[in-house]
A and B are shown apart, each in its own frame.
Chain A
């Protein structure tokens, strides 16, 4: 089809959809629909992982982000009962400053990535690296130390959450 392979078509469609949903997250005025668009964005990104032959990452991405974290987000937003009219009105000055800052960031990113398509692609290992077996080998061999020390991070986050959440007993 038009000289493109099916993978390239899929890549184009998924990229278009993820960028579009990403923009919808920012532009929709209702926080709940923002969250729903974010879930769709995550699904599109999971599709990208599948295209890169990283099934495990794709599944984890859906289960953890779209499944767990976004549900939590939805709960929080519904509990806080945010509405459109409660949204604080920002002044024109802050809007302009934010637009200029964000635009400059975009400008820098596009500018720095321009021309990188001509770079020689280096092979970072076999195409099978995203499969569970190989991922496990990398995680428990090359990245053993970060994997283990991440437990301290999770522990600290849990202790912190409990400390903030619990009532003071004297």
Chain B
């Protein structure tokens, strides 16, 4: 709870920096604040309050705290990485404030217990992002990205609200625990508009994680938005939206699984096929990473599909989101520096191994992790997801997932091949800010460490 207050307070503080002229200190203040928020999370972890706060609106149990931790750690690295970009921008303060507000929404999504907090969390997270996607005002692609995201996102929010209204009409409650109770009490006699509501909420949430067939906005928005914002969207936002889906469907609508599991299985299969095959033919790296994020969304949805409330599934998705976020941050940081000259294609990586050997090695680890090659954390992430699905009737999805992952290896290796086996025109090292170098190295180390000893994360708590 305290971390939520700290992050939203930081947002307000960052806003004031322009007026009271402490713009230069915003960056250290934000980093300090995020460490403080992490400390607050740790304190609450020692004495977790599993009871809900504010009349059942929000509950910071161990699950919420762990996922908040993933989000804050990612945000910490993201801020160090993005500081360099912000220095070139005139409105640093607005950017920082908006990102912190989006972070507030993300933290709410980890801890919501009520549909009202869910909806507000989704909106608080999305609205700053619409603006941030369009923040390069002079670039048509950025404007297009912001506009597309806004229109489609508002449409999805409309679906979410309509779904919530229908579910409230059937159950008379916004509380997900009460909805769960309602489903067990009235099994078999649930009115059909409740089911319509569940499907509508599923559609809206799938839009937020950009699963196929609701993924059409993702490549354009990811490509058009500034690279740092794309990194934010594909890590923090995605993690937060996943926790929301996980809580909503595994806790709230678990009893109505027969309704949504078939739909979800189809969505996962479609996402895997569309994302991996389309990513393989992309030449723009940002677009490729957008499609790769769709396929990762499909993997994370598998845990929801398994619909088993167990330690393995919750810590599996926790591990997956951490591995994916950290790997993406490393990849985006390297890509941001490589594409400084405006070349966003794979050719930009040509000869990086000779120019910056250390960073090329880090990028290789990030790519291997995203592809799911053993020893890196990405492999164990996929492994944990597969083990939750193995006991269910959706084993055919596993075969599809393994086959499409093989396609995935192809496009991740395109970048590795470009770095090691292609020659660039120059052999001059690419300019990297020291802070960016640190981010890349530390995130790579984390990827390797949690890959070698996954128990650090999976053994964190017993659900």
Bound pair (A, B): yes
Task: Assess whether A113 is interfacial by the CB under 8 Å rule.
Answer: yes
B117 contacts partner chain A, Cβ-Cβ < 8 Å: yes
Specify the chain A residue showing the minimal Cβ separation from B131: A160
Q: How many residues of A contact B (CB 8 A)?
A: 34
Is B130 on the interface with A (CB-CB < 8 A)?
yes
Q: Taking the nearest CB of chain A, how far is it from the CB of B309, in angstroms?
A: 25
Is A124 on the interface with B (CB-CB < 8 A)? yes
Shortest 9 CB-CB distances between A and B: which pairs? A160-B131, A145-B54, A112-B196, A156-B101, A145-B57, A163-B94, A112-B193, A112-B192, A146-B116
- Using Cβ atoms and an 8 Å threshold, which residues of chain B touch A162? 94
Total of A-B residue pairs, C-beta within 8 Å: 99
| Complex contact B131–A149 (CB within 8 A) | no
**A112, A160, A162, A168 pick with most chain B CB within 10 angstroms:** A160
Nearest-CB residue, chain A, relative to B53: A145
Contact assessment for B90 and A152 in the assembled complex, using a CB-CB cutoff below 8 Å: no
Query: What is the distance, in angstroms, from B226's C-beta to the closest C-beta of chain A?
Result: 13
Q: Smallest Cβ distance from A100 to chain B, in angstroms?
A: 15
B74 within 8 A of A: no
* B128 in the interface (beta carbon within 8 A): yes
Whether A149 pairs with B117 at a CB distance below 8 angstroms is yes
Tell me whether A159 is interfacial, beta carbon within 8 Å.
yes
- In this complex, what residue of B is CB-closest to A163? B94
Interface size class of B (residues with CB under 8 A): 35 or more
Does B219 sit at the interface, judged by CB under 8 A? no
Q: Is B15 an interface residue when CB atoms closer than 8 A count as contact?
A: yes
Q: What A residues does B8 contact at CB under 8 A? A: 149, 152
Q: How far is the CA of A122 from the CA of B193 in the complex (A)?
A: 16
- Answer whether residue B160 sits at the interface, using C-beta atoms and an 8 A cutoff: no
CB distance from A44 to the nearest CB of B (A): 18
Q: Which residues of B have CB within 8 Å of A93?
A: none
On whether A163 and B91 interact (CB within 8 A), knowing A156-B101, A168-B137, the answer reads yes
Q: Report B-chain residues with C-beta under 8 Å of the C-beta of A146.
A: 57, 114, 116-117, 120
Confirm or deny: B58 has a beta carbon within 8 angstroms of a beta carbon on chain A. Answer: yes
Chain A residues with CB below 8 A from B91, complex form = 163, 166, 168
Binding site for B on A (CB under 8 A): 108-109, 111-116, 119, 122, 124, 141-146, 149-150, 152-153, 155-157, 159-164, 166, 168-170
Report B118-139 CB contacts with A as 1/0, cut-off 8 Å. Answer: 0010011001101100110100
Who on chain A is nearest to B8 by CB?
A152
Which of chain B's residues have a CB closer than 8 A to the CB of A157?
A: 127
Q: B58, B127, B135, B195: which has the most chain A beta carbons within 10 Å?
A: B127
Q: Which residue of A lies closest to B14 (CB)?
A: A159
Determine the chain B residues whose CB is within 8 A of the CB of A115 once the complex forms: 191-192
A153 to B116, CA, bound (A): 13
Q: Name the B residues within 8 Å of A108 (CB-CB).
A: 196
Q: Which residues of B contact A114 (CB under 8 A)?
A: 192
Q: Is the CB of A153 within 8 A of B117?
A: no
Q: Are B98 and A159 in contact (CB under 8 A)?
A: yes
A residues near B98, Cβ cutoff 8 Å = 156, 159-160, 163
